[in-house]
Amino acid sequence: MAPRNDVFQNFEEEDSASDSSTTVLDDVVQTENVLRVPVKIVWRNVVLMGALHLAALYSLFLIPSCRWQTLLFGIVLMRLGGLGITAGAHRLWAHRSYKARFPLRVFLALIQTLAFQNDIFEWSRDHRVHHKYSETDADPHNAKRGFFFAHVGWLLSRKHPDVIRKGRSIDLSDLHADPVVRFQRRVYKPAVLLLCFIIPTLLPTYWDESVWNSFYICALLRYTLSLHATWCVNSVAHMFGNKPYDRYINPTENMMVVLGALGEGFHNFHHTFPSDYAAAEFGIQRCNTTKMLIDIWCFLGLAYDRKSTSIDVVKKRKIRTGDGTNHTALLYT
Ligand code: ST9
Ligand code: ZN
Ligand code: ZN
């Protein structure tokens, strides 16, 4: 097992009592201190995810009959939703790596809803658990359970009991205290219906696109592609790539993921220095679009208090625990 990431200082220490638990739960077998739990597939999610992917496949055939404005709109929606995840759910709410004023928080909550990846509270809770218990049973998308589980399988099955048990030790008081997070959680289902499906379907009719085309392209295909771009951080960037900052952990640097995920593929850096708002050593010169936008928001006074790691600390860490590589691999080698 990879050593636990010890730099996620905001969180309380692991509850060692639950680690050494000898309780045998119903249908849980304990072997060599590892709880083996039968996977409980959630068939409703399998059917919905399967249907979404079939619809996305069908959408590809509609592309030639679409107006160019529709395709452009689909791309804009995909990038906006992505930004709601990277700058909103991830760097602002899950990691508190910078602060955002109320209007920016509202904007980020709106575009995070457009991405339909669970509400901000649930997304951030699972992500904090992911960092604190990375690559263990308590990690919601534990990459040690294989590529498919880390990518999507974790959304198609019940959570391992450790995720919920150890997840309870995570401090979520800041999320409970944010009225934007509370409000979004309260209205999440109708808001998703409106922002992720209805608006993307109706707006393109303004430039005479058919409802059929816009539903498939701007709602379903756009949503499916943005899910995969995000999921690749959990799967690809936990398995393939180099490790310039910490060779003892699984997360990697992967430039393909960086490009698809608005600068989020510098995952070896991010797990080593999780509270850095850039989530990377580099900025826009390495396509870290999210960092660039946070910088612009700070310049405009919409955001402030960016946390970053000093160059000196990064250099020393590279020498001490890095794998000797300097550059993010463009492709897995
Ligand atoms: C989706 C999420 O896709 C993707 C997140 C990816 C994260 C990536 C991170 C990478 C870094 C950032 C990169 C960004 C890149 C972006 C690029 C963009 C271009 N702690 O969950 P339930 C408790 S979602 C503590 O139902 P089950 C809690 O009491 C896609 N407690 O567990 C909870 O109740 P509540 C759409 C926890 O029954 C209760 O347990 N969604 C924790 O095992 C039950 O929780 C879907 O497809 C915890 N961590 O069901 C599936 N967790 O919540 C939606 C739970 O009320 N999900 N508890 O407080 C589900 O259907 C279910 O959650 C399930 C598990 C079937 C997966
Ligand atoms: Zn993170
Ligand atoms: Zn990770």
Query: How far apart are alpha carbons 119 and 239 in whole angstroms?
Result: 27
**Per-residue model confidence (pLDDT) at position 38:** 86
Which two tokens mark 227? Answer: 């899910």
Ligand 1 near 86 CB (within 6 A)? yes
CA 73 – CA 299 distance, rounded (Å): 27
Q: Quick check: CB of 261 below 6 Å from ligand 1?
A: yes
Distance 92 CA to ligand 1 centre (A): 18
CB-ligand 1 contact for 85 (6 Å cutoff):
yes
Counting Cβ atoms within 10 Å, is residue 218 exposed (0-12), middle (13-18) or buried (19+)? Answer: buried
Q: What is the amino acid identity at position 204?
A: P
Phi-psi region of 254 (alpha: psi -120 to 50; beta: other; left: phi over 0): beta
Q: How far is the C-alpha of 289 from the C-alpha of 309, rounded, in Å?
A: 18
Using one digit for the tens of pLDDT, what is the confidence trace for 209-235?
Answer: 999 999 999 999 999 999 999 999 999
Q: What is the pTM of this model?
A: 0.90
Assess contact for 50 and 78: CB atoms under 8 A.
Answer: no
**Below-50 pLDDT ranges, the chain:** 1-33, 329-333
Residue whose C-alpha is closest to residue 318's, from 330, 307, 310 = 310
pLDDT for 6 equals 34
Spacing, Cα 169 to ligand 2 middle (Å) = 18
Q: Report the nearest-CA residue for atom 10 of ligand 1.
A: 233
Summary count for the chain: helices (H), strands (E) = 17, 4
The structure tokens listed for 204 are 């393109």
What integer pLDDT is reported at residue 37 of this predicted model?
77
Q: Does the CB atom of residue 127 touch ligand 1 within 6 A? A: yes
Strand partners, 29: 36
Question: Which of 76, 118, 185, 288 maximizes ligand 1 atoms within 8 Å of its Cβ, making it the mutation to test the pocket?
Answer: 118
| Per-residue b or e along 59-70, where b marks 16 or more CB atoms closer than 10 Å to that residue's CB | beebeeebbeeb
pLDDT at 327: 60
152 CB less than 6 Å from ligand 1?
no
Residue 237 Cα: closest atom of ligand 1? 10
Task: Give the Å distance between the CA of 154 and the centre of ligand 1.
Answer: 9
According to DSSP, residue 86 is labeled: I
Looking at residue 17, its pLDDT comes to 33
Q: What is the pLDDT of residue 117?
A: 98
Q: Which residues contact 22 (CB under 8 A, 6 or more apart)?
A: 30
Closest atom, ligand 1, to C-alpha of 154: 67
Q: From the CA of 49, which ligand is nearest?
A: 1
Q: Which atom of ligand 1 is nearest to the CA of 229?
A: 19
115-173 confidence digits (pLDDT tens): 999 999 999 999 999 999 999 999 999 999 999 999 999 999 999 999 999 999 999 99
Q: Is the CB of 290 under 6 A from ligand 1?
A: no
